[in-house]
């Protein structure tokens, strides 16, 4: 549901608001077609059952606010979200996030680098293994993955109001090397998950 007459004059997108509680429980991801929502400024996913957001969220170039609060199964976001350059406000249940510095839930271990994806159908992936059902381009440079293989890493960066764990699908080690340092109180270098050493904090 798109509300063009939100109280503060901003266009909002509330995709789950008209669904019953049972229907909402069945929605665990969103379609790639969210890339068409280039005018949406406030994306409301409050109380959803989502387990992932597709990388196409990066095409929502007008996005200013993201509200997935109490979506407790949403543990990470795609790196492409950093393309939402206007995104300034977020309300996320941070204790549910991988690597959150307060409770430090572990990152799942990612697949080893793929030098070639010739035997991998990037349009029909097992999300339990790859974190997504499709990879259309490099998270960093946006070039086709097939040009340089597939290199998956985690990195935690400040996005809007919160530090989010981001899944990067890179086409090369060069693109991995181009990633920024991680957020303060989080792992600084890109990593592949598993047992990673978190920095110390006052919450330990």
- Percent of the chain whose predicted confidence (pLDDT) is above 70: 92
Residue 52 clears pLDDT 70, i.e. is over it: yes
Q: What is the pLDDT of residues 92-125, one digit of tens each?
A: 999 999 988 888 888 999 999 998 898 899 999 9
Secondary structure letter of residue 124 according to DSSP:
S
CA angle at residue 17 from 15 to 20, to 5 degrees?
115
Measured between alpha carbons, how far apart are the two ends of the chain, in Å? 42
Residue 3 clears pLDDT 80, i.e. is over it: no
Q: What is the pLDDT of residue 75?
A: 96
User: Quick one: tokens of 8?
Assistant: 């503060």
Distance (Å, rounded) from C-alpha 11 to C-alpha 5?
7
Q: Are strands 65-67 and 42-44 parallel, antiparallel or unpaired?
A: parallel
Distance (Å, rounded) from C-alpha 5 to C-alpha 165?
32
Question: CA 23, 24, 26, 32 torsion: positive or negative?
Answer: positive
Strands (DSSP E) contained in the chain are: 2-3, 12-13, 42-44, 65-67, 77-78, 89-90, 151-159, 162-170
146 φ, ψ (degrees, to nearest 5): -60, -15
- Give the residue among 35, 92, 91 at the shortest CA–CA distance from 61: 35
Q: pLDDT band for position 1 (50/70/90)?
A: very low
**What are 42's strand-pairing partners?**
12, 65
Q: What is the mean pLDDT of the chain?
A: 88
37: Cα separation from own chain's centroid: 17
Q: pLDDT band for position 201 (50/70/90)?
A: low
Q: What is the pLDDT of residue 160?
A: 97
Q: What is the pLDDT of residues 152-173, one digit of tens each?
A: 999 999 999 999 999 999 999 9
């Amino acid at each position: 549901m798109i509300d063009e007459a939100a109280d503060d004059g901003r266009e909002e997108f509330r995709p789950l608001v008209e669904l019953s509680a049972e229907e909402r429980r069945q929605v665990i991801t969103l379609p790639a077609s969210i890339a068409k929502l280039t005018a949406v400024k406030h994306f409301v996913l409050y109380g959803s059952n989502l387990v992932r957001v597709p990388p196409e969220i990066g095409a929502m170039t007008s996005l200013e606010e993201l509200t997935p609060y109490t979506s407790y199964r949403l543990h990470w976001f795609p790196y492409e979200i950093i393309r939402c350059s206007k995104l300034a406000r977020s309300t996320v249940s941070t204790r549910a996030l991988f690597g959150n510095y307060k409770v430090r839930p572990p990152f799942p271990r990612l697949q080893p680098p793929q030098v070639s994806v010739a035997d991998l159908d990037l349009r029909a992936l097992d999300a339990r293994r790859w974190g997504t059902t499709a990879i259309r381009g490099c998270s960093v440079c946006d070039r086709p993955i097939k040009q340089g293989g597939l290199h998956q890493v985690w990195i935690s960066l400040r996005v809007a109001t919160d530090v989010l764990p981001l899944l990067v699908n890179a086409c090369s080690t060069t693109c991995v090397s181009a990633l920024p340092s991680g957020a303060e109180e989080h792992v600084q270098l890109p990593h592949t998950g598993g047992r990673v050493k978190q920095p110390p904090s006052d919450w330990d």
